[in-house]
Amino acid sequence: MSEYLYARGQHVTLTAKRFVGPAWTGAFVVAKLLPSGGEEPRYEIRSTGETFSRAAWESELSARLEASGPTDL
């Protein structure tokens, strides 16, 4: 199983690639480390102000330096 680069509560930026058109980016907080099944690590991430969460691959995320410490979700 792969090691996780990001921790629960860490602030990250999601850059999702689209099939057509430009990539989409947004600010999120890691809510949960998801099982990877031996593949690339996955995370449950949540954006402030949204009532839902989404899953993201580690390669879609990057650390946010301005707020990289753990927070309450």
pLDDT recorded at residue 70: 52
Whole-model pTM: value is: 0.76
Low-confidence ranges of the chain (pLDDT < 50): 1, 67-69
Domain span including residue 23: 11-65
Alpha-carbon gap, residue 42 to 58, rounded angstroms: 6
Q: 71: which residues sit within 8 A by CB, 6+ positions away?
A: 9, 11, 29
pLDDT recorded at residue 39: 84
The reply to whether 34 falls in a domain is yes
DSSP alpha helices (H): ranges in the chain? none
Total tally of structural domains belonging to the chain: 1
pLDDT recorded at residue 73: 56
pLDDT recorded at residue 71: 53
The reply to whether 28 falls in a domain is yes
Alpha-carbon gap, residue 25 to 8, rounded angstroms: 20
